[in-house]
Structure 1
Amino acid sequence: MAILVTSMLLLLAPWYSWASGDSGYVVDACSVTTYQDLCIHSLASYSNIAKRDPSKWARAGVSVTIGETKNATRYLLGLKKKNRFKGRNRVAVYDCVDVFQDTLDNLHKSLGVLRQISAVTFETQMEDVTTWVSSALTDEETCLDGFEGQKGKQIKLLESRVKRVSYFTSNALALVAKLASTGP
């Protein structure tokens, strides 16, 4: 995992210099996230629209996470269809497909609420969104639990893809938490 994160940082280094020089909005928004370089890279295109609006950054974070989750779900569905895994690992792939469907549902519900934030129901809305995005992150971790202690190139690739989605989800959750703490 350290190699993957280090590789990502090296690839993003030139981009990060550009972003911090030309657009402090995305850097400021992503300062609350765990995976800041990934956040900056994935959300930079939203800078001119979101500026300093935590609501727009939360929507952008969840929206980008939906895209990543869809990609991972397609990958998992392909593995399920090809029957590349046997025994325990096959069951784990099937479980991953199920939990990723739940993840997508939770993220879509979250985005729907974030698009209709209301000052009157803000606290309830944020509690719901926080719960759903947290649940999505838990689902991703549950997917990985099924492969604990397993080895092999295919397992490592699957784990890498799922972890990548969890990084995006973690960042989205941080952006949602920032919105919840600043208010509508």
Structure 2
Amino acid sequence: MAKTQAILVAFMLLLLHSCAYGGEQGDSYVVDACSVTTYQDLCIHSLASYSNVAKRDPSKWARAGVSVTIGETKNTTRYLLGLKKRNSMKGRNRAAVFDCVDVFQDTLDNLHKSLGVLRQISAVTFETQMEDVTTWVSSALTDEDTCLDGFEGQKGKQIKLLETKVKRVTYFTSNALALVAKLASAGP
């Protein structure tokens, strides 16, 4: 009886994994798309649901990468705004939180502009569009790093949590930038 239950559990887990990643074919699409990213596991996990729509289309993968990055950035921006509102940090750390809120709002602006352009890719203006998107996503990554600079050398649970959240956004942004670069090299 126990052996039958174990087999059933293994089968159910396999079935859940296949559904979560869009089946074997969908799994290969996301793995292929994410092969150019630095944080491949994060990429695969965060973009797996796009597999059956994006398939082998670099444009759709770039849009998906920027889109999930916007979601992560919004979550971290809300967290930073909460820290700012609560006034729980003092001195240098308080000023750094205010700076982070500003740079994260710039990050969101750059990511939204990028997504807008990626939704309207044109063969005629492709190179210019890709230059703009690459610049904006790169700028978003720089802004996120700038946020972390304000807390350099600081300690404490709140600082560690903030750094973890901001670094996570940088991983998503780095992956989005790699997917944009893949689209730029593939062409319209």
1:70 is displaced (CA, Å) by 0.2
1:46-95 CA distances to partner (integer Å, 9 max, x unpaired)?
00000000000000000000000000000000000001100000000000
Q: Which has the larger radius of gyration?
A: 2
CA distance in 2, matches of 1:5, 1:96: 46
Give RMSD over aligned pairs: 6.3
Would you say how many aligned residue pairs link Structure 1 and Structure 2? 176
1:114-173 CA distances to partner (integer Å, 9 max, x unpaired)?
000000000000000000000000000000000000000000000000000000000000
Unaligned runs of 5+ in 1: 13-19
1:39 is displaced (CA, Å) by 0.1
Gap change, CA 1:43 and 1:92, over 3 Å in 2: same
After the TM superposition, which residues 12-31 of structure 1 pair with which residues of structure 2 at under 5 Å, given as runs?
22-23=27-28, 25-31=29-35
TM-score by length of 1: 0.88
Runs of 4+ in 1 over 4 A off after TM superposition: 1-12
Gap change, CA 1:22 and 1:181, over 3 Å in 2: closer
Gap change, CA 1:50 and 1:72, over 3 Å in 2: same
Gap change, CA 1:6 and 1:69, over 3 Å in 2: farther
1:9 is displaced (CA, Å) by 18
Say whether the 8 Å CA contact 1:110–1:128 is kept in structure 2.
Answer: yes
1:98 corresponds to which residue?
102
2:39 corresponds to which residue?
35
Say whether the 8 Å CA contact 1:26–1:43 is kept in structure 2.
Answer: yes
Choose which of 84, 90, 96 in structure 1 pairs with 2:88: 84
